[in-house]
Chain A
């Protein structure tokens, strides 16, 4: 399967923050979730992907071509959703569509109005009067209406109610049935990713902590729980994160470490979900380690 998106050793420094050696890739037919705490650099990375920010060094490749000064052909194939009010707020949704549509060679009005109807976006209202969720729905309708092959979304589910979030995931799932497409999206809501993401890329303090298959990731870590009497044993195993609780302790470790432990004593071992992985890794601050 062809690589549709690739960042190679991208660096970008700002005052007080920097993206450091960002490298990951996404193939056609897959969904990649981009996670990390606030300020980790997710939006900055997406801005690099969208050519809004010029990396200090490194390369951005899309559809097998390197980003250069003229990326108009590549951008014809990208649908984007930002977590900001990028549309013209004084215009109605319909007027915004009229402004944007002519720039896309493969704009499909039928598809647009189908999504607008499905998402219940009022086209006759000014953008500034729409709720954040409705603006996001409109942005999504625009992103999906020009037969984009790569959909890039920055926090698309934030501000959406659970019902629409579920509907959105269904839409994305439908989109990805076309194996020629790929979806890259950042989010804080990790449960959404557990439903649909094939790959997870975790960014922390401007560095990639890991970029892995979701299944592989869930096999990488374990949460170990036990009583206070086992604290010394668990500490000797050098867990990534260890904390004492009212009932005993909780330790976040690599799976292979837990397998060694398991033979000696009966610990309670759980498979962490994405939120727990994110939480413990941020807590550990072991940013120098590549997982």
Chain B
């Protein structure tokens, strides 16, 4: 059931979203802004992955009617919520791998050398994943608490604001330390657990 729900999220995304996001990934990967900037790439992966996660749950094609459909299927409400939270990691991993794949391809084609060690990439991945979980845990909770309209409006405001702010935020690979990774992961786990249990409860009590 969980697998089918997660596949559902991939299917309802729509070809246009995949094509647009792929184009963005390719174009961004080639930018000099990201030269030797694993941390920046990771945070940008978060922003792109958020588009997939938000679009599949709160895009213009989604309304409370689709929730009515899903709840009418032989599924527990808890399973629906769990699938949403699990998909966060799927979207981030897919975008992170694609992003870094393209970046490495561009470096190879331009005759450069790929910098960084495994720790650097693993740190970037964990911090990116944690950031995504913190951000979307708060966002999903707001959806379950205040409804889909608020979530849809918030998405239209928050995402462009993050994109606009990104170049102004000082991110460099020297900041990627073991301590930062630990703090990020710990914060993500706490926020995720609080958000998940509260979201399940709210959704189980909700009338549609």
Using a CB–CB distance below 8 Å, which chain A residues touch chain B?
Answer: 47, 50-54, 69-73, 75-76, 78, 80, 82, 84-91, 95, 98-100, 102-105
Contacts and interface: CB of A to CB of B under 8 A. Distances in A.
B73 A86 contact: no
Contacts of A70: 76
Given A90-B61, A91-B11, A98-B11, A52 B204 contact: no
B117 interface: no
B76 A52 contact: no
A82 B207 contact: no
Contacts of B72: 50-52, 75, 78, 80, 82, 86
B166 interface: no
Contact of B65 (A80, A85, A95, A98): A85
Interface in B34-73: 61-62, 65-66, 68-69, 71-73
B74 A72 contact: yes
Given A69-B204, A91-B14, 7 more contacts: A52-B208, A76-B74, A82-B69, A90-B12, A91-B12, A102-B7, A103-B75
Nearest to A95: B11
Q: How many B residues touch the partner, as a band?
A: 20 to 34
Nearest to A146: B74
Interface centre among A73, A86, A100 (most CB of B within 10 A): A86
B74 A87 contact: no
A103 B11 contact: no
B208 A72 contact: no
Contacts of A50: 68, 71-72
- The A contact surface, by secondary structure, is loop
A104 B11 contact: no
B4 interface: yes
Interface in B69-104: 69, 71-76
Interface string B1-38: 10010011001101000000000000000000000000
A123 B8 CA distance: 18
Contact of A84 (B68, B76, B205): B68
Contacts of A91: 11-12, 14
A52 B12 contact: no
Contact of A103 (B4, B62, B68, B204): B4
Contacts of B75: 72, 75, 103
A86 B65 contact: yes
Contacts of B71: 50-52
Contacts of A76: 74
